[in-house]
Amino acid sequence: MSIKHLDKIVSLCKRKGFVFPNSEIYGGLKASYDYGPLGVELKKAISEKWWKAMMNNSNIVGLDSSIMVHPDVWEASGHIANFNDPLTDNKDSKKRYRIDDLLSQQKSKVIDALCEILSIENKNDNNTLDKISHTLLQESDKYSNALESAGVIDPFSGNIGKWTPATQFNLMFQTNSGPSEKSGKSIYLRPETAQGIYINYLLVQNSMRLKVPFGIAQIGKAFRNEIIARNFIFRTREFEQMEMQYFVHPSEDESSMEHWKDKRISFYSEELGIRKDNLKFHQHSEDALAHYAKDAFDIEYNFPFGWGEVEGIHNRTDFDLKEHEKLSGKNMMYFDALKNEKYHPFIIETSTGLNRLFLMVLCESYYEDNENNRTVLKLPFDLAPNKIVICPLLKKDGLPEKAKEIYDSINATHKCVYDQQGSIGKRYYRQDEAGTPFGITIDHETLEDNSITIRERDSMEQHRIPVDNILKFILENK
Ligand code: ATP
């Protein structure tokens, strides 16, 4: 799949009611999207799969914490000091770039030159770009001209640019709470849902009488003032995270990390139908680790624009709990009554973005069937927003009435769509593009012997079966 497929997916999303550009009547708000009628269903189906996969574990429970929390939470978590992206401005075009993103658009000879200037070993991977950005930031005085000397091109103008020294940009959105801006500290929109879990973990543990190891799962909005938001819904400033924080004994952090790596990568192939060769792990190098992490792996998907992170699995150690303890003055230790042992649990985090999974599922399902001149979204049955399109052959002779009767009998358990406009072929093709797995046609024979034609989306095969067997057929063939 190439980048041109992404444009086709974007256009399909708008045409079929999956995703719309936000505020379109006012010219749009960059990198902001709304989910249409089919989009909300698909998003809900993905999040339900995730939620179920988590809740199937008897020692994992749910939480729904606030988006806005006490400002000290972000002080303790280190987000005020450390949640920064290194950036640079082009002095001519005035365009601003995240440095790792700018570097990912450069030819290898430019990266080679930068590595030589900064004395970094070039391993030709994401870690090399992370190391370059961090070195440029940490030693910005010494290397203020490095980008120019290495010949870094401004993607906007196509010319070798003059660049400002690397600086930091905090990604948190700041706002005020209450009527007076002057009262109290600034409030931030949460950049991750995780902290809401940490500050509640003892309340959850006590109320549910949980014993380590246990997990707390949460789905909710997060906000990051990304310098560059692009690739459709891959990177936006408002997005939804699905995070599960797993609290373990400090001696079990590494084995737990392995356990969750296996579980999480299997989730994608088993529950979302993603081909295994479109998934891989990427381990962060030590220099590129977040301020809280001891070890970190990304699960990456092979998007039309290249490999991109869909989930982070992090060993966050006891960093967050200890920092909250220091700043709040409240004891954040877990007490193991059986062993009479008090400790700060280590936290293994699995953190994924619902919107990225949505895009991944669309990319994986998008198929151009050139032989039959149609576009198909080969969505897994469980994820498809509509499961069956119900079509009376004609708009007369009692066929619509019979079709509506069948619609009503199935729709309660399997979401149906009713369509009586245009030729049957056109009606099926419309639904192929929306990912509807089955089509049913009601014709004159139906009125005589109560049989219908059922068609499968991917194979386009058609079968004549009794109305009473529709659900059985679907369950056996989905
Ligand atoms: P990236 O390197 O792509 O900026 P990250 O390493 O900062 O991501 P994490 O902090 O690990 O991401 O967040 C966990 C997950 O949240 C990511 O794997 C991704 O699925 C999702 N996510 C993070 N930032 C965004 C965003 N701006 N838009 C959509 N999803 C996001």
DSSP per-residue codes, 113-136: HHHHHHT----SSHHHHHHHHHHH
Q: Which residue, 71, 62, 361, is CA-closest to 217?
A: 62
| Interatomic CA distance for residues 190 and 201, integer angstroms | 17
CA distances from 305 to 3, 7, 71, 362, 476 (A): 5, 11, 37, 14, 36
Q: Are the C-beta atoms of residues 223 and 238 closer than 8 Å to each other?
A: yes
The values of phi and psi at residue 188, to 5°, are: -120, 145
Rounded to 10°, the helix 319-328/194-208 angle is 80
429 CA from centroid of ligand 1 (Å): 35
352 CA from centroid of ligand 1 (Å): 7
- Beta pairing class for 388-392 and 416-418: parallel
Protein residue whose Cα sits closest to atom 16 of ligand 1: 353
| Interatomic CA distance for residues 103 and 126, integer angstroms | 10
Relative to the CA of 299, which ligand 1 atom is closest? 18
Helix/strand number for the chain, H first, E second: 16, 23
31 CA from centroid of ligand 1 (Å): 15
- Beta pairing class for 60-62 and 214-223: parallel
Q: Which residue, 386, 410, 396, is CA-closest to 447?
A: 396
The parts of the chain modelled with pLDDT lower than 50 are none
| Interatomic CA distance for residues 132 and 122, integer angstroms | 10
| Interatomic CA distance for residues 349 and 195, integer angstroms | 11
Which pLDDT value is given to residue 441? Answer: 98
Which pLDDT value is given to residue 123? Answer: 79
Which pLDDT value is given to residue 181? Answer: 57
One DSSP character per residue, 250-303 reads GGGHHHHHHHHHHHHHHHHHHHH---GGGEEEEEPPGGGS-TT-SEEEEEEEEE
Which pLDDT value is given to residue 267? Answer: 98
The type of residue at 36 is G
| CA geometry: angle 424, 428, 430, nearest 5 deg | 115
8 CA from centroid of ligand 1 (Å): 24
- Beta pairing class for 214-223 and 238-248: antiparallel
379 CA from centroid of ligand 1 (Å): 24
Protein residue whose Cα sits closest to atom 26 of ligand 1: 235
The type of residue at 271 is E
pTM: 0.90
353 CA from centroid of ligand 1 (Å): 6
User: What residues contact residue 478 under an 8 Å CB cut-off, 6+ apart?
Assistant: 381, 437
The type of residue at 261 is K
380 CA from centroid of ligand 1 (Å): 25
Relative to the CA of 308, which ligand 1 atom is closest? 3
Which residues contact ligand 1 via a Cβ below 6 A?
224, 226, 235-236, 239, 241, 309-312, 351-353, 355-356
Q: Are the C-beta atoms of residues 317 and 253 closer than 8 Å to each other?
A: yes
Relative to the CA of 296, which ligand 1 atom is closest? 11
Cis peptide before 86 (omega within 30 of 0): no
Structure tokens given for 56: 């199937």
> If 0-12 CB within 10 Å is exposed, 13-18 middle and 19+ buried, where does residue 88 land?
buried
Q: Which residue, 100, 283, 114, 74, is CA-closest to 199?
A: 74
Q: Which of 351, 355, 360 to mutate to test the pocket of ligand 1 (most atoms within 8 A of CB)?
A: 351
Which pLDDT value is given to residue 440? Answer: 98
| CA geometry: angle 434, 439, 442, nearest 5 deg | 140
Protein residue whose Cα sits closest to atom 8 of ligand 1: 309
